[in-house]
Chain A
Amino acid sequence: MNREGRVTRPETGGTDSEFKTFTGNRALMLEEALLFEVGGTDRTGVDISPAPKVASRLGGLERAAPIGLYGLSEPEAVRHYTRLSRQNYGIDLGFFPLGSCTMKHNPRLNEKMARLPGFADIHPLQPVETVQGAFALIYELGEWLKTLTGMPAVAMSPKAGAHGELCGLLAIRSALEARGDARQVVLVPESAHGTNPATAAFCGYAVENIPADAEGRVDLEALKARLGPDVAGVMITNPNTCGLFERDMSAISDAVHAAGGLVYCDGANFNAIVGRVRPGDLGIDAMHINLHKTFSTPHGGGGPGSGPVVFSAALAPFAPLPFVEKDGANYHLVEEETAGEHHAGTFGRMVAFHGQMGMFSRALAYILSHGADGLRQVSEDAVLNANYILRSLEDVLDAPFAGTGPCMHEALFSDDGFAEGFTTLDVAKGLIDEGFHPMTMYFPLVVHGAMLVEPTETESRRAIDQFVGALRSVAERARAGDPVLKAAPVFAPRRRLDETGAARKPVLVWREPEVVAEAAE
């Protein structure tokens, strides 16, 4: 038993005296029922042309029973989903300081470019002669990613960051197997994002933790001591999840290489160094790049992402299929068919088709907009904003590593100093009432009650000052033990939700009330 508990069942009460409207609405804050309560199985928002009369060729598999799909007319659908949207926070609405998530402004030019029919309305299996522009785009984005990271090869197909990690580890395992070296262990720092150990396990590795030193960085000596003939590699996030640059990164890479292993770098925090530091100069072998973080493609409420992976020369021969090659003015696709000629070491295909084209077009539009000079300014402003927040709040919030020097693009605080019974969760919910999205909370695990604040470069000085003021106010309430804070948020569309109840008796799909009633009998 080693986990720390925290309250996930809300305390009730507090708003009884409030005037309640007939509808439950509060002016612009509108309640919205479920699709299944608003719509009906006899309603539709499309007009489909009548089907020509033909004899069915379905082989007797015709669907007889109703599916149970509820429909809406177009006006109802537009209203339903518009009302739902208004119960969401988004970057368009305000500051979103989620550490390690890089919630930066999503330029609308990206959206416009991704929707050009030449990108959005092409099929992945069209003859390659008819999609040369698409391959050109993938190729050019790949070149940018290689140059920005200082790495010689890139795999574009991974669907998201964790999928990119998988790509990198499969390449590492393939490279080791190719030299007949069946190493079994991957080392991961304690502060790592959960996907790192999950990925290593998903492709068959045993996972061991590397401890952090007192300054929040990888303990180089402990790492060296653990390296050996059974260690396939290390997975290191740099800058790490404490918001610190791993000063010893080159030494780490050298030590791992000397012991016969390979270095995977989690590039989730690339925004801190893009344009100023090439990870390839630090001796890494593979790194994924979250296009939805550093390169501004929208998070969309949890995806889709995109996680291209850059490779060192040592891993390049093992990169996955398919990929695009340039041959004079033409582009061609290297797939299973053609890989044999000069890419025989590939570990194979990890996804149908070519990856997240819709994210590539957005990311390239962003990269071209910024250029080499703009991207450098991106990391500088992101780091400056984070340090500004760190120094503006360290008197009221415990900042465990602030004394050791500057942070990178995110500032880390702990819950040390809060009044008895007050937690990071309370501060997060208090920020909601102040009109901000909370910071990342309880991550990384190496800091008690962690609060990880990543402002990104797209916040103005005014927005940051407002946030600093708000967080200061909420932190002071947590230190003073203000009971009102325990009930936060009070102004959001919902107050704290009963996660315990949700998990004990999961209700994961809607059922007709009569079915629910019957089941209860």
Chain B
Amino acid sequence: MRYLPLTDADRADMLAVVGAQTIDDLFVDVPEHARLDGPIEGLPMHASELAVERKLSRMAGRNLAAGDAPFFLGCGAYRHHVPASVDHLIQRGEFLTSYTPYQPEIAQGTVQALFEFQTQVARLYGCDVANASMYDGSTACWEAIVMARRITRRGRAVLSAGLHPHYVSVCTTMARFTGDVLDTAVPELTEGAPGDDMARLLAAVDGDVSCVVVQNPNILGHVADLSELAARCHAKGALLIAVVTEPVALGAIRSPGEMGADIVVGEGQSIGVGLNFGGPYVGLFATRDKYVRQMPGRLAGETVDADGKRGFVLTLSTREQHIRREKATSNICTNSGLCALAFTIHMSLLGERGLRDLAALNHANAVQAADRLAKVPGVELISGPFFNEFTLKLSKEARPVIRALADDGILGGVSLGRLYPGVDALANGLVVAVTETVDEDDVTELADALEEALR
């Protein structure tokens, strides 16, 4: 077996050193009824690299890859071009096969990269400080609500109708057990809908509210100014939590921090990570300096070594589960280290100029596509400012339309019926994302196919 270096001779020698007759002697503490005397039945035996590759390649071949189709899906996961050097660098064994940097003298590569990551995230979000990453955007969102509860000592959170429904679901699941009260709503497909939700949020903030959670751009792709909401929250002693599922947007629009958000969380997948069918992704988490001790997750910090040389360590770890146990800020242990590294490398390759150019290209592509698709009979563009994603209202239910498009090899967007099952008013909604990976031909194909399907 190719992953096992011990030979039978080694095993015999080592058993002798241990003083055991057979390997079974080392498993004597297992209750007799639970000891299996041979390989578990009903499972295949070991296989060659070639055989495994063949089997998995066949499975992969049954999927329609985004690169093989005109592709317009977003809603929390975006397809962007990732430079080849990113994947090369994260596969270096010293990154790929390293552990959490608890021994910083031999993990400076990881900790320094995390320090760079924290700086990039803080700047992108317009915040003072960011942590070394969370599992993903949805879990980061819930952790932010818990953090707001700790800071304000209030237990009611108001969630925007524009917050990704999976994020809302995660929060609802958790709140049921923690006793937090969540005020939620579903979006509407009417003109000016995002503004309406803003009115709801403004009205809901009172002295019992710990935080308002608002996504920007929101699930329909719309962007909004959060300044008034932030001011309202602060006047009532509540925190504003902003959620960003498409970080590329922040190369074009003002950051949530600039608009007054106290905690900014989100999904970092767009930068460096790839679609991966939903995971692993990388949760981003940033806040103000004054709340840093209430923040969950690992933190890298600068220091010096015994020779006075600059170095980096994990710090403020008394917030974490391995020290604080049941009093920790979160139970999170693993972060999303390698994805955070991919984010950092991709962001370093982009730089200020690259990110702004990329955002401008995304926006321009999306504007052109929106105008083109709005001309298709039976398609109405839901108005509202947007970045690289917008919502169409079709003359028919969107879900079967999307399936019909898929049959023709077009991945045409995310139907709101998939995200909000049972909400009839949203059934005709289709969210379309247009990144730099989409070209004019793709848009033409989608427009033609939509026209056909809606006829």
Contact = CB atoms under 8 A, between A and B. Distances in A.
Interface stretch (B19-27, B149-157, B232-240): B19-27
B89 A81 contact: yes
Interface string B309-328: 10111011010111111111
Contacts of A378: 4
Contact of B85 (A74, A292, A301, A509): A74
Contact of B354 (A46, A133, A369, A489): A46
B137 to A, nearest CB: 7
A92 B97 CA distance: 6
Q: Shortest 5 CB-CB distances between A and B: which pairs?
A: A71-B351, A59-B385, A118-B60, A353-B278, A300-B338
Nearest to A368: B52
Interface string B1-21: 111111100110111011110
Interface string B110-124: 101101101110111
A109 B348 contact: no
B39 to A, nearest CB: 4
Interface string B134-147: 01111100000000
Given A85-B89, A90-B96, 7 more contacts: A161-B333, A350-B170, A357-B276, A357-B278, A365-B56, A370-B3, A405-B28
Q: Indicate the member of B61, B109, B253, B370 with the most A CB atoms within 10 Å.
A: B109
B277 A354 contact: yes
A50 B386 CA distance: 20
Interface residues of A, number: 215
Interface string A365-401: 1001111111111101101110110111000000000
B275 A124 contact: yes
A147 B311 contact: no
B406 A129 contact: yes
A203 B363 contact: no
Given A63-B252, A304-B338, A122 B351 contact: no
Contacts of A2: none
Contact of B61 (A55, A133, A194, A383): A133
Q: Indicate the member of A56, A78, A127, A130 with the most B CB atoms within 10 Å.
A: A127
A224 interface: no
A89 B107 contact: yes
Contacts of B254: 61-64
A59 B124 contact: no
A58 B331 contact: no
Interface string A130-141: 111110110000
B4 to A, nearest CB: 6
A458 interface: yes
A249 B331 contact: no
A54 B406 contact: no
Interface stretch (A256-264, A416-424, A473-481, A495-503): A495-503
B418 A125 contact: yes
A373 B119 contact: no
Given A122-B63, A165-B331, A507-B301, A77 B118 contact: no
B336 A354 contact: no
Interface in A187-209: 193-195, 197-204, 207
B108 interface: yes
Interface in A258-292: 273, 275-278, 281-282, 292
B444 interface: no
A282 B34 contact: yes
Contact of A130 (B64, B300, B339): B64
Contacts of B95: 81, 85, 88, 90, 300-301
B104 interface: yes
A125 B173 contact: no
Contacts of B88: 78
B119 A510 contact: yes
B75 A125 contact: yes
A372 B39 contact: yes
A39 interface: yes
A298 interface: yes
B424 interface: no
B196 interface: no
A52 interface: yes
Interface string A8-46: 001111110000000010000000101110011111111
Contact of B353 (A44, A199, A499, A508): A44
Interface stretch (B174-182, B183-191, B205-213, B447-455): B174-182
A276 B24 CA distance: 10
B231 interface: no
B94 A303 contact: no
A51 B351 contact: no
A180 interface: no
A106 B182 CA distance: 42
A296 B336 CA distance: 16
Contacts of A147: 40, 42-43
Given A105-B3, A125-B75, A136-B62, A70 B337 contact: no
28 contacts: A51-B360, A51-B365, A54-B368, A57-B386, A59-B225, A67-B352, A69-B120, A81-B348, A92-B93, A121-B275, A122-B277, A123-B277, A127-B402, A148-B43, A159-B334, A195-B322, A203-B178, A273-B27, A301-B338, A304-B282, A370-B46, A371-B44, A388-B14, A432-B106, A496-B306, A497-B305, A502-B313, A503-B318
B250 A352 contact: no
Nearest to B41: A372
A162 B119 contact: no
B119 A458 contact: no
A492 B336 CA distance: 26
A320 B166 CA distance: 13
Contacts of A49: 361, 436
